[in-house]
Structure 1
């Protein structure tokens, strides 16, 4: 379609009559969708398809990313993205130019061009290393948090078959635990609940001398969690240094639950094979599973995660992760999720010094099998991210996530999702979404 001028009515190639404003919108959309030069017959990148469906089918539902609702307003969003692009460029352009021989001016042009053509921001440009060769193809295959978290994954969820009147939200950890028990999936036990001021026993088994972990029934990550270390004689030491009997602490927890529900669970510890990759926190293996065209779960990604903010002695809020080869179970280099460490790839753990790159995760076959069993209990979801612990007692499902983060996943694997084992599965479901509209 040629660019419209200022006529009162415009007739497009299909014979439809519209206003110049309508024609300009169609023209801009066609220009953004034009194939990359040199790839005239290349299929549409998975990331580009995801963003097109998100935009054209109006899939936006909630302001999940970024977390500040005002930054979802069109004008404010563009201003914020431009300001953040300037910040990222000023902070990283010189170091990237030195390390990768991509001049600061070329980086600025890349950022502007990929923002226009692909809808990618500067942080994605640097975190996904789009300054490297092949950037255009990889950019078209890259997914971002903006479309996935703000509506695309919700739309995909609706494509999955329902086995009940309501889907249990994976964010409800008590409902998650109940469903896992029903399907004999090895999940973290729940000893007690504290709900609206009332304590209730879910299952017995608190052993003498056992550390406990208290977490909100609804919550993400490690927010508002409490580790209770056994101090002897039936008492527990709290993170603030207080020592209380279990009964005294539970009375306090019951009062807190007037505002939010809590669960009391055993503290899990790491298997000796991986214990040197953390100091005191629980290491989890993030596994991505997706239903194939026959509705069978398949493992597409694995990575070992260590969350720095759970390590009080590190004074480090970075989340570190290393990719796991699906076939061999060997790990690659470790990296972090912070913009300041964008050039950081480590063969050894940057804090503990333990070897990472090339290290074999012996439990990997069992971890994969556990993820498949878990997804088989939740086939009313198409795509899921599992956090799985490797403990001395065996493999334990810690939690499931219906909106797993795609940005850090792609960074850790140094590979866009559109070029990963997830690509054909996700493409199938995106095509289903498009056909049903």
Structure 2
């Protein structure tokens, strides 16, 4: 919703927000307040009061008060520097995007185009073999013999988010494929299954990779990834500012997302060492894992392999999308080195700010972003952006 069409909703929220806020404060404090009191010593009335303070001063919701653990004094002191999801996604991102005439946004949002673009630029990304359209038509992105590539297969909706609709099928010695429940399909049956899924939404078929052998005790059964933020700096170069490592806790999952049992750790961007892990913070506040809750493997202090190579790959990747100020990368670290899974145009900071003690509004990401915002404010809105908004 943009422009004049947004005003009715803004007017409604302006009148009703105190009631909505009171309900959300009651909901989250009832659910999480007792545990927070045990850890922080702050009773529920104090927690509610702080929620109202950060809402008035910094537009932080009751939910984010708990997600960012603002009941911790050192975090509460920096509450004004926490960046809300809407401030980045659809806010500051759009301010800068609106000044770009020929945007690479389309390529980043298109999994097939992203793979081909990275291949051309010499940037290592997850092998993508074909795009299956909703009419059953197959568009091959790479050369292989037969109906399906003779490798482990991972497929997902072309526009999918959050790991929904993903499936992994491992190739067996007899040429068939098996999923995590040991359901078996011949190549012809699996292709028919993929085409059936594509009728709902086009499907991209990729190679199923596995994480580095030194990290297998944190992955359970999935390809674990890092979410890494890179930014174009003041001199036009690129640097990595934040990173988190995602682990899985469920043997029946094929992705590492939160709603599939994932947990997230801070990554020290200089050394590549992990901090303790946590979930999204809305179910069990103040719970941090130094060891993996399923395998017992040590998380805190763990060294990620190929970390310098990972940062170098992502900076080269960012250079291939040079109009972007920031990119939120999903990157896997395998035995052969880092492999980019995808790049996100409008990446938020919630995982970063939950796991890091300093908010995203403090540090290099904020400094570089502020530099580019100042430049964007002096530039006219591009004609292509105006045309897109007119169509919307």
> How does the TM-score come out when normalised to structure 2?
0.85
Q: In the aligned structure 2, how far is the partner of 1:165 from the partner of 1:321?
A: 31
Q: Secondary structure at the match of 2:72?
A: coil
1:340 paired to 2:271: no
Hey, what does 1:200 align to over in structure 2?
139
Aligned to 1:46: none
TM-score (norm 1): 0.77
Instruction: Give the distance between the partners of 1:358 and 1:320, measured in 2 at CA.
Output: 16
SS at match of 2:274: coil
Of residues 33, 37, 50, the one that matches 1:110 is 50
1:172 — aligned with what?
110
C-alpha distance in structure 2 between counterparts of 1:147 and 1:385, whole Å: 15
Tell me, what secondary structure is at the counterpart of 1:94?
A: helix
* Counterpart mapping for 1:17-416 below 5 A: 74=13, 75=15, 79-135=19-75, 137-159=77-99, 161-162=100-101, 164=102, 167-195=105-133, 196-205=135-144, 210-238=151-179, 242-308=183-249, 311-312=252-253, 317-416=260-359
SS in 2 for 1:191: strand
1:304-327 CA-to-partner distances (Å, cap 9, x unmatched) read: 112456844999744311111122
- Deviation of 1:339 (Å): 1.0
Structure with more contact order per residue of length (Cα contacts < 8 Å, sep ≥ 6): 2
Distance 1:165 1:407 in 2: 25
- Alpha-carbon deviation of 1:71? 11
Instruction: Tell me the SS of whatever aligns to 1:423.
Output: helix
1:288-338 CA-partner distances (Å, limit 9, x unpaired): 001112322111011111245684499974431111112222111111113
How many angstroms apart in 2 are the aligned matches of 1:394 and 1:371? Answer: 12
Offset of residue 348 of structure 1: 1.1
Q: Which runs of 5+ in 2 are unaligned?
A: 381-392
Aligned residues: 372
Deviates more, 1:418-427 or 1:383-392: 418-427
Larger Rg: 1
What root-mean-square deviation, in Å, do the aligned CA atoms of Structure 1 and Structure 2 show? 3.0
CA separation in 2, counterparts of 1:98 and 1:213? 44
